[in-house]
Structure 1
Amino acid sequence: MENKDKATTGLQVAVTILGKWGASSEQGVAILRVSPETYARARRRDPEWKVNLDEDQLTRISYILNIHAALRVILDNPKNVYGFMSMINHNEYFNGRSPLQIISQGNLYSLRETWLRVTWSAL
């Protein structure tokens, strides 16, 4: 039961962060690799609802939480912490796209690379 609670809480927090980053439901579903129904229930934060997640989904949640943590370290203004992911970025990896556009492709590699780029900025 404890793992389900942690997975559910992690998913709910990741969905909240994605919403603050300006992600649409479709983008969130692709980023976290969950069904639209699971995404919607996580957003509603139904206290009776619990979810089972696989390792890939838990890894995706971890990347979202770690990107958010790195942004909080490098940026003071909450508008920038939450706005960074939807801003056009001219770093060679992002190449004029926003980090949110990159991670919305839904592949784990893009999520990992975005996390690395943000983390390197925090060092």
Structure 2
Amino acid sequence: MIAVTQTLPANAAQAAVGTVLNIMDKWACSEKEKMALLGIGRSTLHKYQAAPASARLSPDLLERISYLLNIHAVLRILFENPENQYGFLRMPNKNSFFNGKAPMEILSSGLMSALYEVHRHLDAVRDGQFA
């Protein structure tokens, strides 16, 4: 897993905010989903979208960014075409963990455990474990 930690230079960690916002745009995330995924409020989201370098990099935000970047990385490994790389999270999934839900339905709960579990299950598919 890519670890985005407080030991990164501030500009590198803040660049990760801009990157993850771009990824969420490609995932067609609504404002509400972006807020849930990042664990932030509407005004903070608008501030970060306007100026990613203004992001306050709390341990919670850094952990969320790490999971989101890792989910993106796994999807790029699993799928060659951009339609699946960016659309998979919206597709209903019959894996027992997803139980017919699209992964974004689980992610948009905003729970850190949802980010962890979706990443873990996608990573297991990448490893051929089909957890």
- TM-score with structure 1 length normalisation? 0.89
* Paired residue secondary structure (1:100): helix
Aligned residues between the structures: 120
- 1:80 CA drift (Å): 0.5
> Which amino acid letter does the alignment assign opposite residue 37 of structure 2?
I
- Alignment equivalent of 1:5, drawn from 7, 11, 19: 11
- Alignment equivalent of 2:96, drawn from 67, 84, 92: 92
- Alignment equivalent of 1:28, drawn from 25, 28, 34: 34
> Which amino acid letter does the alignment assign opposite residue 18 of structure 1?
M
Once the two structures are aligned, what percentage of the paired residues are identical?
34
Match for residue 101 of structure 1?
105
Match for residue 56 of structure 2?
52
Higher RCO, 1 vs 2 (CA within 8 Å, ≥6 residues apart): 1
- Alignment equivalent of 1:19, drawn from 10, 14, 25: 25
Q: For 1:35 and 1:101, how far apart are their aligned partners in 2?
A: 19
Structure 2: gaps (5+ residues): 1-7
Which one is further off, 13-22 or 34-43? 34-43
Q: For 1:8 and 1:29, how far apart are their aligned partners in 2?
A: 17
- Alignment equivalent of 1:80, drawn from 84, 87, 94: 84
**What do residues 26-63 of structure 1 show as CA deviations (whole Å, max 9, x unaligned)?**
1110111122223223333x37x422221111010000
Q: For 2:54 and 2:10, how far apart are their aligned partners in 1?
A: 6
- TM-score with structure 2 length normalisation? 0.84
Structure 1: gaps (5+ residues): none
Q: For 1:38 and 1:3, how far apart are their aligned partners in 2?
A: 21
Greater share of residues in helix: 1
